[in-house]
Amino acid sequence: MHRPSTRSLWLAPVVLVSLLAAPAARADDPLRQELVARHAGPEVAQKLKDGGYVILMRHMATIHEPDQWSGVDLEDCSTQRLLSEVGKQQARDLGTAFRTLGIPVGAVLASPYCRTRETAELAFGAPPTVDPILSTWDHLPVDQKTRKATELRKILDTTPAAGTNTVLVTHTGNLLWSLGLDSKPEGLAHVFQPTGLPILRPTYIGRLDPDQWRALAGLRPAAEAAPAAE
């Protein structure tokens, strides 16, 4: 299997469209995404204890119903796909894991959708700052997706307040389009270290899924989550 060169790790978003059309890889295969992690599991969590990182994650597990086909009202959660009971518990467990592991959190930003905002609030105890850049881009033309992907990379390359980590809660398409990142399972978190320079190339540290967070914090296993909706 050909692995991407270092240069290819930061391909323009337009090129990353090919990822969406590629055959599905195994969900546990870390080589199916463009970026290669520098650390794994416990090492990632250990680094977060000192602050200075940006965590880009997908919302937690959702119910098996799509967003309302006739149109989503961002102020009306009944028109949207929502967190399942498993997803709500995953979010609570994430917050418990952060507290147990001593991981400091500063700014928390989320997409305007209810499932992302609820993930953030259940995990970190307060309503997040809503940022449209983290919203879904599925309906946008390529040029607008490209601009939004650039804005998202700017946030990833912005240094958090001293001694804290920034958390961003978003959707699967944004992870794929902006950076070629894996987005399954729901709740998967990717960790970046900003450079503080205007080069839009934060260092990719690694990833943790909801079960890994629970295991690191010594929490009980979660109920088996049903297959995630797209």
pLDDT tens track of the chain, all 230 residues?
Answer: 444 443 333 333 333 333 223 333 333 444 456 677 677 778 999 999 999 999 999 999 999 877 666 677 888 888 899 999 999 999 999 999 999 999 999 999 999 999 999 999 999 999 999 999 998 877 778 888 888 888 998 999 999 999 999 999 999 877 877 777 888 999 999 999 998 777 778 899 999 999 999 999 998 765 554 444 43
pLDDT confidence of residue 199: 76
Closest by Cα among 165, 186, 164 to 175: 186
- CA dihedral sign of residues 88, 117, 214, 173: positive
Angle between helices 142-156 and 172-179 (to 10 degrees): 90
CA distance 157 to 137: 20
pLDDT number for residue 82: 94
Residue 105: HSE in the Cβ half-sphere, 13 Å Cα cutoff: 22
- Does residue 185 have a cis bond before it (omega within 30 degrees)? yes
Q: In order of start, what are the domains of the chain with their CATH numbers?
A: 41-217 (3.40.50.1240)
- The label of the residue with tokens 């881009």 reads 137
